[in-house]
Structure 1
Amino acid sequence: MPASASTYNSLAVAAAALGSFTYGFNSSIIGSIFGLPGFFAYFGLTLQGAESAPIVGAANGLFAGGGLIGCIIVPWVSDKLGRIRAMQIACALIVVSAAIQSASVHIGMFLVGRFICGVGTGIINTTVPLYQSEISPPKSRGRMVASHGIGLVTGYSMAAYSGLGCYFEPREQVQWRLLLALQCVAPGILACVSPWVPESPRWLIMNGKEERALKVLRRLHPQRPGTDHDFAASEYAQISQEVEANPEARNIFKLLKSPSIRKRFGMGIFIHFITQSTGILVVNNYQILLWQNVGLKGYMPLLLYAIYLTWASFLNVVSSLIVDKVGRVRMLIIGMCGLICMLSVFTGLFATYAGTDSKGGQVACIVALFLWLTFYATCVDAVSFIYCAEIFPTQMRSQGVAASTGTLFAMTLLLTQVAATAFAEVGWKFYLTFIIVPLCGLPVLWTFPETKGLSLEEIAVLFGDGAIDAALESDGEKLEQAKMVETVEDSTRPTKV
């Protein structure tokens, strides 16, 4: 079993991470837009006015609602057309939405573009970790799928720095139109390089393309010189056995009759429910308002927002380096405990010093929020996507990841839609929600099984799939088939003169 991925494997994962960056940039761009006075002046809105709260909330809510729809349709798209084709469709939707938003002449047009962008990012935010998990070797899968989290927060931080740069543009309309147009850059690049990115070998086997799947596996996981173990052939055998052991696995209603499948669906949904209940996206999308409430003015909220997200990007890299050693569940538990403690401290400080001139109070609020982010970015952000992409068997991985990621968008829709009104009506008390709910859900995390170091097919055994267990114990026939396919290919390949 290879301990590290090949260069080709790493490049394929990195290319897919452009989709992760796309989601991060496009979802976070609204926070930067809220820091540009030209946007509010053009549409006749105010960031803190109660009369504008429904529109501000709709800008977030429609994006999340579109993302939820994207998650609903992605199992059909990715299972029917392939993981790469699903990414390409998502990129097309996002590029179109960026054009609509940047050309908006009234708020309705902007909201329509925001909704279409949500659909595209819902598809891509589900497909990328799904694809990355399916092409990564077990020993480094955590690190490679963590590139999804790294891409997300890098997108967040680049949106913040882009907003900061646009703030100094003297032409107010150019400020926000240019910023919104930048949403098309990353998906445009991904669409251009996608024809050279390999399709998931698991999808290929699931759709009867065994020879092509074996070629992809051999290129992703080439046999190392001086070793006898052919990891590509072994993985081909395991995947084939799992597919054969679950002939009805695409029927979601038959799948849900299995207790192990219901358990995995419940776990995937719970992971994103509890991580979003920490309020991470509410704090992110309304951070400009937050810093203004503690007395920061002008470009300073945008600058602090950019620094905040840069710190998150760095910590996600740290997370990717330790997740395969520490373990997914342990990191989630540590992260949730830290989040509960630090947000409790921040809420107390914010309730005391918001709206005052106390410089010490302002600094204390900033430090507490950065410590809160430290726990999330290191232990929760990328890890939640890794775990949810690992726990489902091949034939239902797209449905399972879609259900868990759909929960993320559903929670985002709920929380960001009400946040503008909640902050206007109850102020700091809204943060109590993000302390109480995670605290109640923390004991459930202790019951989750660890998946580090296991192949995706071995994880199926971990959840009690007896048919797959038996298949994996007798995969010699499939190994021989893989070798026969290779022999046939060699015999039919033209001889070089």
Structure 2
Amino acid sequence: MAYGKLTLRDIAIVLALSLGSITYGYDFSIISTTVGQPSWYAYMGLTTDATSPNYSFSNSMLDTVFGLFSAGAIFGGLFVGWYSDAHGRQKALLIGNLINIVGGALQAGSAHIGMFIAARFITGFSGAMIVTLVPIYIAEVAPPAVRGLLVGQHGAFFLVGYTLAAWVGVGSYYSPNAAFNWRFPLSLQVLWPLLQLCVLVWLPESPRWLVRQGRSDEAWRILARLYHNPSDGQQLFAREQFFQIKAQCEADQAAYGDVNYLDLFRKPHFRKRALIATLVMWASQANGAIVIYSNIVVLVAGLGFDNAESLFLAAGWITLACVGNFANAYYLDKLGRIRSLMIGITGCIVCVIIEAAIVANYGGTDNKSALSAGVAMLFLFICFYAGFVDTTVYVYCSEIFPTHIRAKGMGWSIAIFFLSTLPFLESSATGFATIGWKYYLLFIILPSINVILLYLFCPETKGQSLEEIGAFFNDNVAIRLTHISEEEKRALDERILAEQTIINGQDVSAASNSADSEKTPKVTV
């Protein structure tokens, strides 16, 4: 990753962490195909027949299944913010994966709807831990120039999880074994965390967290490996990054000391970040994306397609979303975070307006052209949401908090993400069943307001180092490395070389050039 160039080691780290992204994506999305399996309804004693006396109860249970995942995720996001600061990113990821395996196994083995709902809560708790940790870790090892691309892989790969869940659901639908139809897709939830556990011991700890814990020697060894540049014998890029991280951590410690969740709101610099993260996460969900994600099979079926057609169209919709998220990650460093959000949410508003009009006028009819246009609007919606919003929110919220409160800030952001989903998930099945197309009005009015708020209050962070983003929130930035003149950079590099060349009797440049050595160079600034 030195000077923005990726190495095989960097790619391997991102791919290993992205197993966690797949875990969350599969956990969240598998319920969409599960509720499209008639055998699941039959086993759980539920119905999709609107004339059945059990229909109202079934809708309330369906809302609870969706809602309890989000409720568990709220607690999981807040818990991991504390735990990963206290015990490290690597250990927190270990705990999250272990809990996730338990939740997935309980879902696959559920004997009744109550057990299934409880298992969804457990899976939501652990899924939030993982979805919080992955972007934090990648952000804390990525250089500024390509941070959007690398952190964006988190959003792209949890769409891989969505896609896998969708197509596994399609394949399982055709099994003559009623239990296999829904138990097998649910059982695959344990595969992805098991795979991550296999590679977790190989992943290095976050160097920024290590510096915060006073373990600078370990942090230097990791940075020297991550940013090793064979063409630069002095390893200036690695030195600059270490110098800036350590200086900023010392400045933050002197200014704020140890922080807790209450400090997110007691200290003005942190409160502004927390409010902006709240706005960004709320805006990402108040456009209807979570409702369409969770109910895509049901929505397509409501446009006149049978079960098999609905599952295929839903799987194609999720696959398109996956492609869109990779595209979002690719151009995010060029387009910018806030511009991406505004373009994506505005596009979603237009699609929902047209979708609502189609459902209002042609829903329940046999007008195939109009109903096909309704499906087309759902596909265009996901092009805007996946292409501009879905990846961006994780990148942005992982950037705006400083190291000493990043995990808590990201945990808060994920909690808000899922808290924002609760009113929609708890009401969506009942809402569509009772007021029909009018339910879409929520996703026209709310995002229209949010686009204005994003423009007015959210600073652009592309191209800035994590330590320098604090300037947007009136923090003291100890060392600037980006957007400085060549003369300033030369002077800074001379200072870094003078202070870091020989440390504790060791030549740092030699240590950098042999970064794969097991010997840990002792570094101080």
TM-score (norm 2): 0.90
For residues 493 and 76 of structure 2, the distance between their equivalents in structure 1, rounded to whole angstroms, comes to 37
Provide the residue aligned with 1:197 in structure 2. 203
- The AA in structure 2 aligned to 1:443 is I
Q: Deviations over 1:87-137 (max 9, x none)?
A: 111110111111111111111111111111011001001111111111111
1:41-86: CA deviations, max 9, x gaps?
A: 1111013522211110111111100000101101121111111111
Partner SS for 1:399 = helix
The alpha-carbon deviation at position 461 of structure 1 amounts to 2.2
Q: Which moved more, 1:459-468 or 1:410-419?
A: 459-468
Structure 1 residue aligned with 2:423, among 414, 437, 440?
414
Change (3 A) 1:175 1:214: same
* Alignment partner of 1:488 out of 475, 494, 506: 506
Note if 1:77 corresponds to 2:78: no
Determine the structure 1 residue equivalent to 2:453.
444
Q: Among residues 156, 179, 186, which one is paired with 1:150 in the alignment? A: 156
Deviations 1:125-153 (A, max 9, x none): 11111111111111110000110111111
Partner of 1:17: 18
Matched, 1:354 2:363: yes
Q: CA 1:401–1:255 in structure 2 vs 1: closer, same or farther (change >3 Å)?
A: closer
- What is the alpha-carbon distance in structure 2 between the residues aligned to residue 424 and residue 211 of structure 1? 60
Whether the 8 Å contact between 1:241 and 1:478 is mirrored in structure 2 is no
**Partner AA of 1:70 in structure 2:** G
Deviations 1:271-296 (A, max 9, x none): 00011001111111111111111110
Distance 1:231 1:470 in 2: 13
Aligned to 1:105, which of 111, 121, 143?
Answer: 111
Q: Residue 249 and residue 12 in structure 1: after superposition, are their counterparts in 2 closer, same or farther (change >3 A)?
A: farther
Could you tell me which residue of structure 2 aligns to residue 260 of structure 1? 269
For the pair 1:310 / 2:319, whether they are aligned, the reply is yes
**Correspondence 1:65 to 2:79:** no
Is the Cα–Cα contact under 8 Å of residues 234 and 479 in structure 1 kept in the other structure? no
> Which of the numbers 92, 103, 106 marks the counterpart of 1:86?
92
Q: Is the 8 A contact 2:104 2:123 kept in 1?
A: yes
Does the 8 A contact of 2:468 with 2:477 survive in 1? no
Q: Distance in 2 between matches of 1:46 and 1:484?
A: 73
Question: Are 1:425 and 2:434 counterparts?
Answer: yes
* Aligned residue identity for 2:445: I
Q: Which amino acid aligns with 1:51?
A: F
Q: Distance in 1 between matches of 2:193 and 2:29?
A: 15
Is 1:39 paired with 2:40?
yes
Task: List gaps (5 residues or longer) in structure 2.
Answer: 50-54, 483-487, 512-516, 520-525
Query: Distance in 1 between the 2:369 and 2:518 partners?
Result: 76
Conservation of the 8 A alpha-carbon contact between 1:237 and 1:479: no
- TM-score, structure 1 normalization: 0.95
Number of the residue aligned with 2:292:
283
Of the candidates 153, 172, 190, which is equivalent to residue 178 of structure 2?
172
Provide the identity percentage.
36
Q: Sort the Cα spacing of 1:41 and 1:329 in 2 relative to 1 into closer, same or farther, 3 A.
A: same
The aligned amino acid for 1:27 is F
- Give yes or no for contact 2:400–2:469 (8 Å, CA) kept in 1: yes
Q: In structure 2, what is the Cα distance between the partners aligned to 1:25 and 1:494?
A: 37
Distance in 1 of aligned mates of 2:202 and 2:194: 14
What is the identity, as a one-letter code, of the residue corresponding to 1:406?
A: A
Counterpart residue number, 2:259: 251
The 8 Å contact of residues 319 and 382 in structure 1, kept in 2 or not, is answered as yes
Q: Mean alpha-carbon deviation: is it higher for 481-490 or for 8-17?
A: 481-490
Give the aligned CA root-mean-square deviation in angstroms.
2.2
- 301-310 or 343-352, which moves further after superposition? 343-352
1:238 corresponds to = 244
Within the alignment, does 1:325 sit opposite 2:334 as a pair?
A: yes
Q: Paired residue for 1:26?
A: 27
Measured at CA, do residues 486 and 50 of structure 1 come closer, stay the same or move farther in structure 2, by a change above 3 Å?
A: farther
Query: Which of 165, 168, 186 is equivalent to 1:162?
Result: 168
| 1:465 matched to 2:465 | no
Alpha-carbon separation, structure 2, partners of 1:223 and 1:486: 23
Provide the aligned length of Structure 1 versus Structure 2: 495
Cα distance change of structure 1 residues 358 and 470 upon mapping to structure 2, 3 Å threshold = closer
CA 1:223–1:461 in structure 2 vs 1: closer, same or farther (change >3 Å)?
A: farther
Aligned equivalents of 1:407 and 1:296: distance in 2?
35
What's the offset of the Cα at 1:369? Answer: 1.2
CA distance in 2, matches of 1:295, 1:118: 32
| Separation in structure 2 between the aligned mates of residue 476 and residue 111 of structure 1, nearest angstrom | 60
Shift of 1:477: 6.5
User: 1:357: how far off?
Assistant: 0.6
Residues 1:379 and 2:395 are matched in the alignment = no
